Amino acid sequence: KNEVEQSPQNLTAQEGEFITINCSYSVGISALHWLQQHPGGGIVSLFMLSSGKKKHGRLIATINIQEKHSSLHITASHPRDSAVYICAVFTNFGNEKLTFGTGTRLTIIP
């Protein structure tokens, strides 16, 4: 079992729909990142969370430390949101390292 699990693996939606991507982790963490990866490989960090909720434009990220669960929401989705969204955690035991989920491929259809 992976230390970081994401669901769904693939998601196709119509433009304008509300999108939710989920991330569950099984290890102790000091921080969680939501990352965006476009075709061609470039990875950009969208959010870093250690508690609560963060919002940036149409993106909202939440984390529940007790339940070891985080969600990424996209409101009013747009075709330019099409990308792979990856959850990654900094583990807090021993040497910190960033461990990734397998990603969610999001396709928004006009």
Partner 1 sequence: DTGVSQNPRHKITKRGQNVTFRCDPISEHNRLYWYRQTLGQGPEFLTYFQNEAQLEKSRLLSDRFSAERPKGSFSTLEIQRTEQGDSAMYLCASSYGQFPFFGPGTRLTVL
Question: Which of 12, 30, 64, 107 contacts partner 1 by CB under 8 A?
Answer: 30
The count of residues in the chain is 110
When asked if residue 17 is in the footprint of partner 1 (CB under 8 A), the reply is: no
Structure token pair of residue 93: 């035991």
- The residue (of 97 and 110) whose beta carbon lies closer to partner 1 is 97
Q: Does 86 bind partner 1 (CB under 8 A)?
A: yes
Residue among 24, 10, 100, 20 at smallest CA distance from 61: 20
Find the shortest distance in angstroms from Cβ 21 to partner 1. 13
- Rg of the chain, C-alpha, whole Å: 13
Shortest Cβ 28–partner 1 spacing (Å): 14
Per CB under 8 A, 100 contacts partner 1: yes
Backbone angles phi, psi at 79, to 5 degrees: -55, -30
Distance, CA of 15 to CA of 3 (rounded, Å): 32
Measured from the CB atom, the residue of 14 and 95 that comes closer to partner 1 is: 95
The reply to whether 77 sits near partner 1 by the rule CB under 8 A is no
For residues 103 and 22, give the distance between their C-alpha atoms in angstroms, rounded to a whole number: 10
Residues that bind partner 1 (CB under 8 A): 4, 6, 30-31, 33, 35, 41-45, 48, 86, 88, 90, 94-103
